[in-house]
Amino acid sequence: MSTVFQKSEFYNAAISELSSGNYPALSARLALGDVTLTQQIGAMAQMLAMLSYQLGLAEVEPWVKARDNMVLADAAMRGVLPYGKAAIYRANIINKGVYTHNITAGRRLLDNKGRIWTIANGTTIASGETQSVQIEQYELSEKVHTVTEKKSFYTINIPQPETDSYLLDVAVKHSDGGYFQFSEKFNNVSANTRAYHLVCDEMMNVMVQFGLENKAGYIPEKGEEITFILRYTNGNATLNNATALEFEYMQTHEEDLTILSADLIQAGAAPFSIDELREITNYPSLYDNNAVFLGEFQFLVQRKLSPFVFLNVWNERKEEAVRGANVDNINTLFVSFLKDGIDIDEAKTQITRIIQAADNSYRLKFVDAVEEKININITLTLAPMHDEAAVKQKIIVYLVAQYGKNSAWARKGGQRINWQNTVKSLRENITELQDGVSDIDIESVQSSNLLPETFRYVSSDSVKIVATKLYS
């Protein structure tokens, strides 16, 4: 990126020019401290600084998506939808009465915060018994749309969720009661087949799109009614152990039932953050949601099951590069991961299902992740006027943000730190290192045999800084 000028640089350049004697009238006003002049110059300097910043970003945008709106636009182009993930718990229902109760799937419960939980599997509870059911945090909403015109790729906007609520999934129903099938970009869909595709714009507004006339998919007629069945979730909704829940609507004698939350099956999550979208959009633009193309199985799993603390998916070539050849590695995909808020066996089951649905010719082998802190030794030379402790803290905060346990860099295994770029970035982000006197040198001891399952990250206690003050 070329030099990005600050407001002060534009302001000082303008003041210097006005003081040069070429503008006597303005120079006199400036000498008197005329604020009507200096304030206007300051406003223009601010606008020029903002323009300079945008021009600088535009130079690197083809290689690095620096602006959030570019990340959102790229995600929309790739069909990354702003779906949340519902929390799933196991709940115990205790029957303290004398009647047997039949609890059907779909019954709605309320927790102590007014959130709606839906029973996923029904059960029958005799007197004195305790049965467990699976509950999922979401609520249903139905919207009816009347088609205004018959045309190809007819598009309908999905209503935006309420605050602290996220779209979980969409179902589309015809007025005759039949359901449309979801088809990614109408792949393998013949003409007049009831199918729909989901798209979104750079503001993450989701839209349902219908087919191309006489080519692929279904074209709704004018006046036809289309019903959307929408599920919304609060994302990362949590329940403490033995939290009391109650039915939204009671049936006869159900006051004898006590419902208590039990163990967590799957943690809920909000849609992808900007940082996660920035990582996801680094994958090939022609990916087209097909894991076989370019072998991007890691992207497939990451997109379907994020967030991960750590995820790495690799093939037999990478495996044998670090551990040697073995006939058992033929046609095998290796997966190593760390994921919070979900049972490890349940996570393995979901990953297996996702990969097998994409390509069932592979065998899968799960490898336990191994955590390893990256030890960094830093030699810091500072000018006398700088606060040594403050500079050390800034360096640690920057390194942990870039390469720490929760960073996008650490989540994706098998990466190495480019120390030349890191030193350059430290100098750009820490003003005390820009005085032309202070200096920094970084040394890191990295394993020569980097295993794919190694979850490597920088922590505050793995960074050792030795500082020396420069005295004349």
Tell me if residue 197 falls in helix, strand or coil: strand
Assess if residue 77 is contained within a domain. no
- Taking alpha carbons only, the member of 464, 439, 461 closest to residue 386 is 439
Q: Which residue has the tokens 């069909």?
A: 79
Question: pLDDT tens, 183-209?
Answer: 888 877 888 889 999 988 878 889 999
Question: pLDDT tens, 429-454?
Answer: 888 888 788 888 988 876 666 889 99
C-alpha distance from residue 184 to each of 151, 181, 198 (Å) = 20, 10, 8
Q: Would the CA dihedral through 22, 28, 29, 32 be positive or negative?
A: positive
Does residue 246 share a domain with residue 190?
no
C-alpha distance from residue 121 to each of 104, 124, 126, 350, 373 (Å) = 7, 11, 17, 19, 43
Alpha carbons 311 and 427: distance in angstroms, whole number: 31
Alpha carbons 457 and 409: distance in angstroms, whole number: 8
Assess if residue 444 is contained within a domain. yes
Tell me if residue 298 falls in helix, strand or coil: helix
Can you give 417-435 as a three-state secondary structure string? CCHHHHHHHHHHHCHHHHC
Question: pLDDT tens, 224-269?
Answer: 999 999 999 998 899 998 899 999 999 989 899 999 999 898 888 8
Question: pLDDT tens, 368-400?
Answer: 999 989 999 999 988 888 888 999 999 999 999
Assess if residue 46 is contained within a domain. yes
Does residue 217 share a domain with residue 146?
yes
In this structure, how many other beta carbons lie within 10 angstroms of the beta carbon of residue 2? 9
Q: Which of 167-171, 300-304, 380-384 has the highest mean predicted lDDT (pLDDT)? A: 167-171
Does residue 251 share a domain with residue 120?
yes
Q: What is the model's pTM? A: 0.64
Does residue 229 share a domain with residue 244?
no
Angle at 96 between CA 124 and CA 133, to 5 degrees: 35
Assess if residue 434 is contained within a domain. yes
Does residue 224 share a domain with residue 251?
no
Q: What is the CA radius of gyration of the chain?
A: 29
C-alpha distance from residue 310 to each of 75, 371, 441 (Å) = 22, 10, 29
What is the pLDDT, as a whole number, of residue 192?
86
The pairing of beta strand 463-469 with beta strand 376-382: parallel
What is the pLDDT, as a whole number, of residue 61?
62
- Give 3-state DSSP helix, strand, coil % of the chain, rounded to 5: 30, 30, 40
- Name the least confident of 91-100, 274-283, 343-352: 274-283
Does residue 104 share a domain with residue 39?
no
- Taking alpha carbons only, the member of 185, 200, 196 closest to residue 229 is 196
Question: What average pLDDT is seen over the chain?
Answer: 86
Does residue 354 share a domain with residue 411?
no
What is the pLDDT, as a whole number, of residue 285?
52
Tell me the residue range of the domain where 391 lies.
Answer: 372-469
Assess if residue 442 is contained within a domain. yes
CATH of the domain at 305: 3.30.300
Alpha carbons 177 and 193: distance in angstroms, whole number: 15
**pLDDT exceeds 90 at position 136:** yes
Does residue 54 share a domain with residue 103?
no
Q: Which residue has the tokens 């799957």?
A: 266
What is the pLDDT, as a whole number, of residue 65?
62
CB 97 within 8 A of CB 229: no
What is the pLDDT, as a whole number, of residue 286?
46
Assess if residue 82 is contained within a domain. no
CB 256 within 8 A of CB 236: no
Assess if residue 337 is contained within a domain. yes
- Taking alpha carbons only, the member of 394, 332, 341, 342 closest to residue 367 is 332
Number of domains in the chain: 5
Q: Which residue has the higher pLDDT, 405 or 160?
A: 405
- Taking alpha carbons only, the member of 450, 192, 153 closest to residue 321 is 450
Does residue 260 share a domain with residue 121?
yes
Does residue 452 share a domain with residue 387?
yes
Host H or E run for residue 276:
helix 274-280
